[in-house]
Amino acid sequence: MEKHVRQYVDDFMAGIIAKNPGEKEFHQAVHEVIESLAPYILENPVLAKMKVLERIAEPERVVMFRVPWLNDKGEIEINRGYRVQMNSAIGPYKGGLRFHASVNLSILKFLAFEQVFKNSLTTLPMGGGKGGSDFNPKGKSDNEVMKFCQSFMTELQRHVGQDTDVPAGDIGVGGREIGFLFGQYKRLRNEFTGTLTGKGLGWGGSPLRPEATGYGVCYFAQEMLATKGESFKGKTVAISGSGNVAQYAAQKATLLGGKVVTLSDSSGYIYDPEGIDAEKLEYVLELKNIFRGRIKEYAERYPAATYYEGQRPWSVKCDIALPCATQNEVSGEEAKMLVANGCICVAEGANMPSTPEAIKAYQDHKILYAPGKAANAGGVATSGLEMTQNSERLLWTAEEVDNKLHSIMRNIHEACVKYGTEPDGYINYVKGANIAGFMKVANAMLAQGCV
């Protein structure tokens, strides 16, 4: 059987690579999923016969377009916009928009593919999609960001809608960008609908949406730790990133009794052995969200902290690691360093932040490890709750949303345990998340025929 599974995986990946040459991030995401699903698919011949996974790995639609805009000097700049509509078997396409210089088709296809499984795990009726542009908001004025967003939405609005495709924010797309995008959508379509999530509270947003991904990661880690009789209390926590996800993961980890000692950005990381308490975190929120500064300024403000330029925080001794920055930010060597330094739990706040070598290191040492599609699903889950509130023209309280988010993360954890528990008792959260996410989508696709 093992040989048969290996052959199936190799043949499947050969087809993916031939069809999608040079898209290494997409290949990596598909390979991680097919490794978990191959035995399951081979035991259920109808899935192989109906080519369900082959169809999931092929986007239903990819839209690519030119985004011309005027900068503050009156010069024309041109970026490229994308929307990958991956799978709508269980609901309208749902997934973020990323504005970052690194954005390309491979990255967006990997994110859209992961999103299909993540959205399925939430149990909410949402398909998977992802989009964005190689536009970088860093260093741009508010006026330039607005000009870009308006041009981007002028094309994107043809392809989205509350019952078709509901984008949200991702890296480089926060409250400011969502506001500009929504304003242009409303202006062009002459309708006020829940077509974008992550909106402001006063105009259709949901309480707790900014906090949701970071909070959800901590709720999931809490469930994982509980399987070992552990909790955040008294634990040292290393977090990468300093954007939305990292900020609120730090806040919730601290509230749960942990001591957060690191944050980072693309230039380096800060290490504060005294811990990043509520007052210091307030400074980080202001620094990043209002002044759009660099994390090294934290070390200038707080003398106990040290700034390490051009490095990532994974050499720091910690009990819990929450990678919340970007894809492939933890290498195999860094994962081994984490394990050697006593890390017992890794929960991913970013999408695919651990390389395959890093995942192998976690699993070889049998530490608690949750992939992003399970651990960071709280963000899109709360986007789904925002869609529900928009459809009902209601606004729930923060407490109601938090309770629903906590419950969703607990349910995702239970599904991972159900499908991921190995014969020796070790919970393989990668396998559990992949099978549980796949099941719902596969059954819907089988019911809907060859589409």
Active site residues: 130
Is 336 a known ligand-binding residue?
no
Is 140 a known ligand-binding residue?
no
Do you know the residue count of the chain? 451
Read off the amino acid at residue 57. Answer: A
Could you tell me which residues come within 8 angstroms of residue 281 by beta carbon, excluding any fewer than 6 positions away? 247, 250, 251, 254, 260
Could you tell me which residues come within 8 angstroms of residue 437 by beta carbon, excluding any fewer than 6 positions away? 116, 117, 118, 120, 121, 373
CB-based contact 433:373 (threshold 8 Å): yes
Is 79 a known ligand-binding residue?
no
In which region does residue 365 sit, left (phi positive, over 0), alpha (psi from -120 to 50) or beta (all else)?
alpha
Is 431 a known ligand-binding residue?
no
Is 376 a known ligand-binding residue?
no
Lookup: tokens for 446 = 């089988």
Phi then psi for 261, rounded to 5 degrees?
A: -115, -10
Read off the amino acid at residue 90. Answer: I
Is 373 a known ligand-binding residue?
no
Is 49 a known ligand-binding residue?
no
- Integer Cα distance of 121 and 124 in angstroms: 8
Phi then psi for 242, rounded to 5 degrees?
A: -150, 15
DSSP codes joined into one string, 119-177: HHHTTSS--EEEEEES---TT--HHHHHHHHHHHHHHHTTT-BTTTEEEEE-TT--HHH
Q: Which residues are annotated as a binding site?
A: 94, 115, 118, 169, 213, 244, 383
Q: Which residues are annotated as a binding site for substrate?
A: 94, 115, 118, 169, 383
Q: Which residues are annotated as a binding site for NAD(+)?
A: 213, 244
